[in-house]
Amino acid sequence: MIFSKVFKSNPIQSFELTVASGSRDNVIAFGPASIINGSVKLFLEKPIQAKSIRVVFSCHEWDQQQKPTKLLSVESDVFSQKADHDMLERGNHIYLFAIQLPSSVNYPPTIRDSYLGHRIEYTLQGHLDFALDNNTHKQKSTASVPLTYLPLVTFDDRMNQYATRNKSIRIEQGNEYVHVTASLANPSSCPGDLCSIKLYTHNKSSYSITQVHIVLLSTATSLNDNRNPDLPIASGPSYQHKQRQILNESFYVSIPKNTSDITTICPFRVPSYCVPTTQSHFGKYIDITYEVFIIIPAMGSNWDGCTTSQLFLNTQAIRLPLFVTTVPYCSTQPPKLQIPFADENNSDVPNFIINESPIPSPITDGWGPGSPVDPDDELCLPQTHEDASGHLMVPPIVSPSTSARRSLSVHSTTSSAA
């Protein structure tokens, strides 16, 4: 008896927000015009005076200094107290919601890996405002649910201007030389796609070539906030570049010495975690690009890997730009759909679908479990017809003017369990 007065039970047993976002190995990505459907579940041990339950959708960005910046935030009440002393009854309560992402703009992609020097997170969270018996105001929040957002990125005309179909290199030593032309089968690839490099080699040397090395390099460019104050303003903005080798593969090839017209195919898979090629001014400026380095150890040389700075100085390397998109490349009819990235002048925000958002299942006296139809509404259901042997027959067609027509009247209330 004494302990029951001192240790009062927590009226809120569980409070969680769930959304259809896939599993850890098969994540669902949202994009422009997507609809995010979710629910807020509340289990009460005893009645509480709930003021409101709201859902917040937000996006935050972290730079290299790990300072978070809020890029956007929208919220909506999924429950509001109608009167000052209304109580939310004991039991389970579920509130459904839906969020419409804008179709007119691309937001920057979700970035969780630190190798780009940026981190961008989209999250959903539920918040409960309620009062205790002594009118003390309290708040409780659900765990933050991360979401994956990918912009709609196609191989457009702008990318086509910078795309390099093929590049060549000539490696000489005395009177001998090796001439290699490299090209990408497709100028763009989606994360997880197989990308192929075609090599066309003239090996006019006394050495055979047995290996070719492929390096995929990512470059994230952003504005340098730590600008030197001594520099004049007229010198323009200062940028910083963060680069990383995200793929390094070796291929065994057979290019004999003193041969010509040798064709070699080197396929590699673009890592599934690659962020699409992005140039966003929404929040802090960030530009994400990719390059493929093809290293040909010719004239008897070897290559055991190197740092990124040494990679740019390698005289036996060919560099090809690779565009990582979210729409597969089509050489015959390139997709014309192009959505600009959001900026200060074009920043449509997501909207909660209020009128069309699903509501909790209605409770009506007389409804049986698993059958949300009132007994009086059985006339609305199709009637079965059998012949003398018991086989089902097609019901007769009844004219709409003579058939009985009734409309179901559904009364929605907040679901609760006593």
pLDDT for res 333 = 56
| Residues 394-417 pLDDT 10s | 444 444 443 333 333 333 333 333
pLDDT of residue 395: 44
- Overall average pLDDT of the 311-340 stretch: 81
Average pLDDT over residues 388-392: 44
Cα separation values, 124 from 11, 18, 75, 227, 258, Å: 24, 9, 10, 35, 63
Dist. CA 140–CA 96, nearest whole Å: 18
pLDDT at 368 over 80: no
Number of H helices, E strands in the chain: 3, 22
pLDDT at 320: 93
The answer to whether 243 and 322 have CB atoms below 8 angstroms apart is: no
- Angle 404-407-412 from CA coordinates, rounded to 5°: 155
When the pLDDT of each residue in the chain is averaged and rounded to a whole number, the result is: 78
> What are the chain's domains?
2-149 (2.60.40.640), 157-224+237-324 (2.60.40.640)
List C-alpha distances in Å: 200 to 205, 265, 333. Answer: 15, 9, 27
Percentage of the chain surpassing pLDDT 90? Answer: 41
What is the value of pTM for the model shown? 0.74
Q: Is the pLDDT of residue 386 over 60?
A: no
Place of tokens 């709201």: 54
The DSSP code sequence of 269-307 is EPPTTPPPPEEE-SSS-EEEEEEEEEE---TT-------
**pLDDT tens string 24-54:** 667 788 999 999 999 999 998 888 888 899 9
Query: Residues 271-300: pLDDT tens digits?
Result: 988 999 988 888 788 899 999 999 999 888
Residue 97 above 90 pLDDT?
Answer: yes
What mean pLDDT do residues 242-268 have? Answer: 92
The DSSP H or E segment spanning 268 is strand 259-269
Q: What is the pLDDT of residue 23?
A: 64
Q: What is the DSSP string of 161-223?
A: HH--SEEEEEEEETTEEEEEEEEESSSEE-TT-EEEEEEEEEEESSS-EEEEEEEEEEEEEEE
Report yes or no: 17 and 125 within 8 Å, Cβ to Cβ. Answer: yes
